[in-house]
Amino acid sequence: MQKNGPTDNNAMPVDASLSFKVNDVYNGSLKYTDLGLKPVVKITLSESINSATVNNAITLTDASAKTFPVTNTLSADGKTITVTPQANLTGFTSYVLGIASSLQTASGGKLTNPVNITPGNRFR
C-alpha cells in the first residue's frame, strides 16, 4: 500500500514561522545599519528545515538587484540557518536579504512569513 503523506503515518506538512537576528541582535525592525562589512544573519524557524530548499530560498542583493554569494550553514537540529556573505560587502550600500516562501520544512510545509531584511551597511 502506497502512503499519501510526505512522511510516515500520512503526516501532514507542518508550516513554519521564522525569527532572525543580525550580528546577534534583533532591533524590532527589518532594517539594520552599522553592521560592518560581513554581517551574520541567523534565521530560526519553528520547525526543522528541508536542507535542499535553503540555498535557492535565500538571496542577498543590492539596490541594482545584483546578487552576492552567501554561505548558508544549517544547525544540527535543522532549525537555524546562519547566513554569511562570502566576501566583504561595500560600505555606504544597502542590501536586501530575501527569505522566500520556497524555504520548506522537513515535512514539506511552507514558510508562513517570508521576509526581506535590509542589512544596510556603512563604514564605522
What is the rounded average pLDDT for all residues in the chain?
85
Binned at pLDDT 50, 70 and 90, residue 121 comes out as low
pLDDT of residue 5: 39
Average pLDDT over residues 81-105: 90
**What kind of architecture, by CATH, is found in domain 12-119?**
Sandwich (2.60)
List, for residues 16-67, the tens digit of each pLDDT value: 988 999 999 998 888 888 888 899 999 999 999 999 999 999 999 988 999 9
Ranges of each domain in the chain: 12-119
Binned at pLDDT 50, 70 and 90, residue 2 comes out as very low
pLDDT of residue 120: 62
Residue 18: all three cell numbers together: 521564522
User: Residue 124 pLDDT > 60, yes or no?
Assistant: no
pLDDT of residue 92: 81
Average pLDDT over residues 91-108: 89
Average pLDDT over residues 102-107: 93
User: Which stretches does DSSP call E strand in the chain?
Assistant: 18-22, 31-32, 41-45, 58-62, 67-68, 70-74, 80-85, 95-99, 115-119
pLDDT of residue 9: 56
Q: Long-range CB contacts (< 8 A, 24+ apart) of 99-102?
A: 99/18, 99/20, 99/43, 99/57, 99/58, 100/56, 100/57, 100/58, 100/59, 101/57, 102/53, 102/56, 102/57
